[in-house]
Chains A and B, each alone.
Chain A
Amino acid sequence: MRKTLSLLLFSVLMSLGLTAWGAEKTLNLGVIAELTGDMPAVGASCRNAAEMAVKEINAAGGLQVGKEKMKINLIVEDNAGKADQSAAAAQKLITQDEVLAIVGPNASRYAIPASEIAESSETVLITPWSTNPKTTLDANTNEPKKYVFRACFIDPFQGGVLAKFALENLKAKKVAVLYDVASDYNKGIAEVFKANFEKLGGQIVAFETYTTNDKDFSAQLTKIKDAKPDVVFLPNYYSEVPLQVQQAKRLGLNVPFIGSDSWGSDELLKLGGADMNGYYFSTHYSAENAAPVAKKFITDYEKAYGAKPDDVAALTYDAFGLLFGAIKDAGKADREAIRAALSTLPSYKGVTGDMKFQADSRDPVKSAVILQIKDGKFTYFTNANP
């Protein structure tokens, strides 16, 4: 019995050793995605794009690191749509799987806790979709974090774009806002929008809140209707917006609704149907108006997953593009070297446009797009540059 056991142990050790000393070396990269919970469409897009980016590199023989080509081993963790599990997933990827860098989580309320772990463990984390400024800022000093980057624009920019759009394109003088006060992203952009819109001379006539998982917004919407706004701003996630719009219509509130990049999932169209037609939202890119570099990504993605890539997919792909570029530049599989290379990376041409990290900032400078929902589809409306 003891003999077989030790033989078994020996063979296990041998096989472990063989993979470690095998012909080719591999790099571990981690992804934290919202695969379950209240925004599974976001997590699925993130995972799909990540797997695609890695497959492309591995099919080409691996990533050039210094003198050798290394294959990439992707480890995807689910955060279940929870802040604590996001932090736990980051901890596991860093200490147990010893990943070189992490991509994700996407929603700000999950990206912020995960970014704290990455920062204190000195591991690069790039969030594709988290637009809240706090994700890349140290909570105590308000200085940029050293190891946390993002592939998207930030809410102060997006809020400004939307405020200008409401005032100039929709000719709105009075705007009402309804947002989730328990979620970092929603709260952040609602406040930025309010400040920008009032600075431009507009008036916020109602500033109403609810908490995550609420389904009844009738009291707030009745209050909003009473304030007689020209436009209602709903900076909330795609699974909640259709309910808010439908309830507003049932209460006889028939004004245009506008939203932010959290609207940009095909699920919004499935859940909202014809009720969403005619409304506008700001986002990161438009599949129909994308740069030439994006065309290949869009066709490949459609072929692999049977759907047009949404903004999360495009940004995840870009996050990997940035990361691959940084690893190549660093020339070695070292966390600190990658951080240094990423912050000095020259302008990167991505699916979602050109981006570059400015000195002392972890937020790339890039433009935004305004989309309109028309006949159950997202259509390009206008561009907004920083």
Chain B
Amino acid sequence: MSDGIVYWLQQILNALQLGSIYALIALGYTMVYGILTMINFAHGDVFMIGAFFCFMAATMLGLPFAPTLLLTILGTALLGVVIERLAYKPLRNAPRVSAIITALGVGLFLENFTLALAPYPKHIPPLLENVTWDLGGVSLSSLQVIIICLSLGLMIVLDYVVHRTPVGMAMRAISWDKTFVPLMGIPVNLIISITFAIGAGLAGAAGTMYALAYPVIDPYMGIMVGWKAFISAVVGGIGNIRGAMIGAFILGGVEIMVTAFFPSTYRDFVAFSLLMLLIMIRPYGILGQPRTQKV
């Protein structure tokens, strides 16, 4: 293959990997918003905790990849439920701003709690035998394949759960009307807990994959990635699962391609200008629907 084609194929692969990582986190944002119309700003920090759970499982318990991933997902799911019970549930009927401020507070708490216990950046040992294939000059690593497949797989599972199962139906019902749904015999608290458990579990999966791809982790790692995932969810249409996925691939793609085309200093400036333009054209995101407000 000619050098030019190899170069662009490599950049496309880079974009797919970055987009998949954003997607894994964006799914959690969009899910909680879809059910509760609440932006869970602590999500990026739950993702960071996920990376630290992965670190603990891998180094202290010495577990291989699959049990580490499972344990991390369970750990963060539990954390998600606890956060919802302690911090968000008392505010369920409070103004939406209070919930957002609380979420930011929970995020700061998680960051500084981790900082107090682990001020030094940590190195994640390679849990997977990493094979790099050389496809005519294009490098493809097994890790990239796993990350891309995992995020696509989880999106399909999530889409199925929300649209095809009784629990998913209950979730969608709650998102429609929180007052009358309990009268139909749906346990609202349980369903909301499940929503948070799934959202936080996804953040745990994302934290694990991120920690394997970028094996230096620190307590502040969730902030920027969390913002970018949130932006992905908004671009795709917040509340929409497939939209979050599309938004994440758009953001990852734009970031990588701007760096490939322009001097890398312009990356964030050009990338975010493009996204703003997109939002101006489609204010509800690519797959988002304007919600009708009952007055």
Interface residues of A (CB under 8 A from B): 35-38, 40-41, 181, 208-211, 213-216, 218-220, 222-223, 225-226, 239-240, 242-243, 246-247, 250-252, 267, 270-271, 273
- When A216-B18, A220-B264 are in contact, do A252 and B134 touch as well, CB less than 8 Å? yes
Task: Say whether B221 faces chain A, with CB atoms less than 8 Å apart.
Answer: yes
B105, chain A: closest CB distance, angstroms: 18
Task: List, in ascending order, chain B residues with CB within 8 A of A38's CB.
Answer: 121, 218, 220
A124 to B113, CA, bound (A): 35
Task: List, in ascending order, chain B residues with CB within 8 A of A40's CB.
Answer: 119-120
Interface residues of B in 222-263 (CB under 8 A from A): 223-225, 255-257, 259-260, 263
Task: Say whether B216 faces chain A, with CB atoms less than 8 Å apart.
Answer: yes
**Are B264 and A208 touching (Cβ within 8 A)?**
yes
**Are B14 and A213 touching (Cβ within 8 A)?**
no
Task: Say whether B293 faces chain A, with CB atoms less than 8 Å apart.
Answer: no
Task: List, in ascending order, chain A residues with CB within 8 A of B255's CB.
Answer: 219
**Are A271 and B14 touching (Cβ within 8 A)?**
no
30 A-B Cβ contacts within 8 A?
A36-B119, A38-B121, A40-B119, A40-B120, A208-B264, A209-B264, A210-B264, A211-B268, A213-B220, A213-B221, A213-B223, A214-B224, A215-B214, A216-B18, A218-B14, A219-B260, A219-B264, A223-B259, A223-B260, A223-B264, A239-B218, A240-B216, A242-B123, A246-B215, A247-B214, A250-B130, A250-B132, A267-B120, A270-B123, A273-B123
Task: List, in ascending order, chain A residues with CB within 8 A of B223's CB.
Answer: 213
- When A36-B115, A40-B120, A209-B265 are in contact, do A219 and B11 touch as well, CB less than 8 Å? yes
Task: List, in ascending order, chain A residues with CB within 8 A of B121's CB.
Answer: 38, 239, 267, 271
Interface residues of B in 90-123 (CB under 8 A from A): 115, 119-121, 123
Task: List, in ascending order, chain A residues with CB within 8 A of B257's CB.
Answer: 219
Residue among B21, B119, B225 with most chain A CB within 10 A: B119
**Interface magnitude class on chain B:** 35 or more
Shortest Cβ distance from A220 into B: residue: B264
The 10 closest A-B pairs by CB, nearest first: A219-B259, A218-B14, A215-B214, A219-B256, A252-B139, A40-B119, A271-B123, A209-B264, A239-B121, A209-B265
A36 to B120, CA, bound (A): 8
A382 to B26, CA, bound (A): 50
Residue-wise interface mask of B (174-210) relative to A, using a CB-CB cutoff of 8 A (1 in contact, 0 not): 0000000000000000000000000000000000001
One of B139, B214, B215, B263 near A216 (C-beta < 8 A): B214
A181 to B264, CA, bound (A): 9
Interface residues of B in 1-53 (CB under 8 A from A): 3, 7, 10-11, 14-15, 17-18, 21
Task: List, in ascending order, chain B residues with CB within 8 A of A220's CB.
Answer: 259, 264
A384, chain B: closest CB distance, angstroms: 30
Shortest Cβ distance from A40 into B: residue: B119
A216-B17, A216-B21, A267-B121 known; 8 new pairs, CB 8 Å cut-off, are: A38-B220, A208-B259, A216-B214, A219-B257, A219-B264, A226-B3, A239-B218, A252-B139
Task: List, in ascending order, chain B residues with CB within 8 A of A210's CB.
Answer: 264, 267
Task: Say whether B141 faces chain A, with CB atoms less than 8 Å apart.
Answer: yes
A83 to B15, CA, bound (A): 32
A38 to B263, CA, bound (A): 26
Shortest Cβ distance from A36 into B: residue: B119
Residue among B17, B121, B134 with most chain A CB within 10 A: B121
A250 to B212, CA, bound (A): 13
Task: List, in ascending order, chain A residues with CB within 8 A of B139's CB.
Answer: 250-252
A227, chain B: closest CB distance, angstroms: 10
A247 to B223, CA, bound (A): 22
**Are A41 and B120 touching (Cβ within 8 A)?**
yes
A210 to B265, CA, bound (A): 7
Task: List, in ascending order, chain A residues with CB within 8 A of B21's CB.
Answer: 216
A213 to B217, CA, bound (A): 11
Task: List, in ascending order, chain B residues with CB within 8 A of A35's CB.
Answer: 119
A208 to B267, CA, bound (A): 11
Shortest Cβ distance from B123 into A: residue: A271
A214 to B10, CA, bound (A): 19
A308, chain B: closest CB distance, angstroms: 17
**Are B221 and A226 touching (Cβ within 8 A)?**
no
B279, chain A: closest CB distance, angstroms: 22
**Are B263 and A209 touching (Cβ within 8 A)?**
yes
A160 to B249, CA, bound (A): 42
Residue among B10, B18, B132 with most chain A CB within 10 A: B10
Shortest Cβ distance from B210 into A: residue: A215
**Are A218 and B17 touching (Cβ within 8 A)?**
yes
**Are B216 and A243 touching (Cβ within 8 A)?**
yes
A226 to B11, CA, bound (A): 11
B135, chain A: closest CB distance, angstroms: 11
A274 to B18, CA, bound (A): 25
A181 to B259, CA, bound (A): 14
**Are A226 and B7 touching (Cβ within 8 A)?**
yes
Task: List, in ascending order, chain B residues with CB within 8 A of A242's CB.
Answer: 123, 215-216
A35 to B220, CA, bound (A): 15
A223 to B3, CA, bound (A): 12
Shortest Cβ distance from B119 into A: residue: A40
Shortest Cβ distance from A251 into B: residue: B139
Task: List, in ascending order, chain B residues with CB within 8 A of A37's CB.
Answer: 220
Task: List, in ascending order, chain B residues with CB within 8 A of A246's CB.
Answer: 215
One of B18, B119, B210, B215 near A218 (C-beta < 8 A): B18
A220 to B255, CA, bound (A): 11
Residue-wise interface mask of B (138-149) relative to A, using a CB-CB cutoff of 8 A (1 in contact, 0 not): 010101000000
A208 to B18, CA, bound (A): 19
- When A239-B218, A246-B215 are in contact, do A251 and B10 touch as well, CB less than 8 Å? yes
A213 to B132, CA, bound (A): 26
A218 to B139, CA, bound (A): 11
Task: List, in ascending order, chain A residues with CB within 8 A of B259's CB.
Answer: 208, 219-220, 223
Task: List, in ascending order, chain B residues with CB within 8 A of A225's CB.
Answer: 10
B94, chain A: closest CB distance, angstroms: 31
A85 to B174, CA, bound (A): 45
Shortest Cβ distance from A219 into B: residue: B259
Task: List, in ascending order, chain A residues with CB within 8 A of B11's CB.
Answer: 219, 222
A240 to B15, CA, bound (A): 20
